[in-house]
Amino acid sequence: MKYSLVASLIAQSSVVLGELIPMHFKAPTPAHFQDIVRNDTFDFGCHPAALPTDEGHYKLRALLTQAQIDFVTKEYASSGITVHRSLTRRQAASAAVPIGSGDRFTAGTKLPVGLGTQSSTARINSILNLNEIKSGVQALVNTYGIGYQELSSKTFEGRTQYIFYAGAGTDKSKYHIYFSAGIHARERGGPDNILYFMADLLAADKAGTGLTYGRKSYTNAQVKSVLQAGIVVFPAVNPDGIAYDQSTDSLWRKNRNTRSGSGSSTGVDLNRNFDFLWDFPKKFASSTSPASTSPGSQTFYGTAPFSEPETKNHASVYDSFPKIRWMVDIHSAVGDVLYSWGDDENQSTTPTQNFLNTAFDGRRGVIGDSSYKEYIPAQDLTNARSAAAAMTNGLKAPGGRSYGYQQAVGLYATSGATDDYAFSRFWAKPGVNKVYGYTLEFAPTGNFYPASLTEFNNNILDTNAGFMDFALEAIRIGLE
């Protein structure tokens, strides 16, 4: 957005999320969107993604208010960018897959059953409510004797967070793969995807069988191999936000911290609150917006790195399980696998150009320039791409839906994200393990709220095959 006009759009951004309208921009090239994505008052979901269309153009999805749509339609009328509004004001709850009522797992006494251990016609009929996520985990713990751990920091609304872990016994140094979900409240189905996947692994391991997700099958030997790698799961990173979103159908993204404001200014974007170049006004070029200092923004970065209990808890898992090598943070809804770095384009020739070097402060985040690119060792880049490609192939396999993989920087830079924090720890904290961090954007439909049971179940099938292929490739590359 032209910077002289940003102030007017900041004022418009103070509306409630229920007034956001799904829409998309269309342009001849991704470069046409660069000016638009720098406006931190716009809501592009997890990250702006320029997707090719059948007509040879590109589209960029967003959630805007009607005032914002009217403004950009006029402002970009002669720029080659067109604005297209969805037929509905937003994803209405009545049109989306319902949230489960009650407790289908009966206080941890009834096991979750995933799609990989059932017939091809089986389906799951509703999204897990927040209490059911925990009840399902309790059932896995009670039945299979797997590990369970409560985390030390309570959320703003007083909830106790927890993780569970399986496959490598009680020795926490034997756990190498870390999945987290639900950091953005509105991205429904993320906790379901990982809970049902773990239910499948444990059931198939016990029964001596394999798994089948649509057109993709796995042997029992592969199941055992993945479990033995040691898997840690943080199934609901943002429980306050999830509870609010499920009760209001408001497309709520952030947590529910009210210290910085109320209404649409409630909450911090947890995926901008990690200690990786968090102080973006200092660390990045002034023309970029990797996060936001405004509480009204969907990418508000908080008051300090790790200001939020949820991000403190997420990071604490690395201390409890010091040999984690691979991390996937589960999001929707683009249809992409993202690998580091997210702050600038990758390069493997100039080690001094790195996120710790203050000499490059104020120069990061401009895509396509030669002033700064983020250093990544060549072998690490090869490994990161290889596992991303494997996960993408797994996502495509069950039903042939469209997925891709790319460097996380995409159309614009980000700061304080889970994947980059995971990868950065090796250089920022002496003596810690190297972790390859990923963001999985499931749901290539673009729906935060699955619009049908078919879509919801396809998301489970796709992600579960993606998890399997990712884990198998991680094992091949190396867990130590």
Which region holds residue 463: left if phi is over 0, alpha if psi is between -120 and 50, else beta? alpha
Could you list the beta-strand ranges (E) of 67-187.
82-85, 147-150, 162-166, 177-181
Do the beta carbons of residue 167 and residue 227 sit within 8 Å?
A: yes
Q: Check the CA dihedral 377-379-381-384 and report its sign.
A: negative
State the DSSP code for 264.
G
Catalytic residue among 187, 308, 374, 441: 441
State the sign of the Cα–Cα–Cα–Cα dihedral 409, 308, 278, 1. Answer: positive
* C-alpha of 288 from chain center: 21
Residues in the chain: 480
Question: How do beta strands 436-442 and 326-332 pair?
Answer: parallel
DSSP assignments along 266-302, one per residue: ----GGG-SSSS--HHHHB-TT--SSBS-TTSTTB--
What are the DSSP E strand ranges found in 284-410?
326-332, 336-339, 346-347, 374-375, 404-407
How far is it, in rounded angstroms, from Cα 426 to Cα 127? 37
| Residue 19 among the catalytic residues | no
Q: Collapsing DSSP states into helix, strand and coil, what is residue 192? A: helix
CA distances from 404 to 61, 192, 332, 336, 435 (A): 16, 22, 13, 5, 22
Calpha distance 350→373 (Å, rounded): 9
Q: Which residues contact 220 (CB under 8 A, 6 or more apart)?
A: 204, 205, 208, 209, 210
- Residue 23's CB is within 10 A of a number of other CB atoms, namely 20
> What's the rounded Cα separation, in Å, for the pair 180 and 236?
7
How, if at all, do strands 211-213 and 82-85 pair? unpaired
Query: Which amino acid does the sequence have at 392?
Result: T
State the catalytic residues.
441
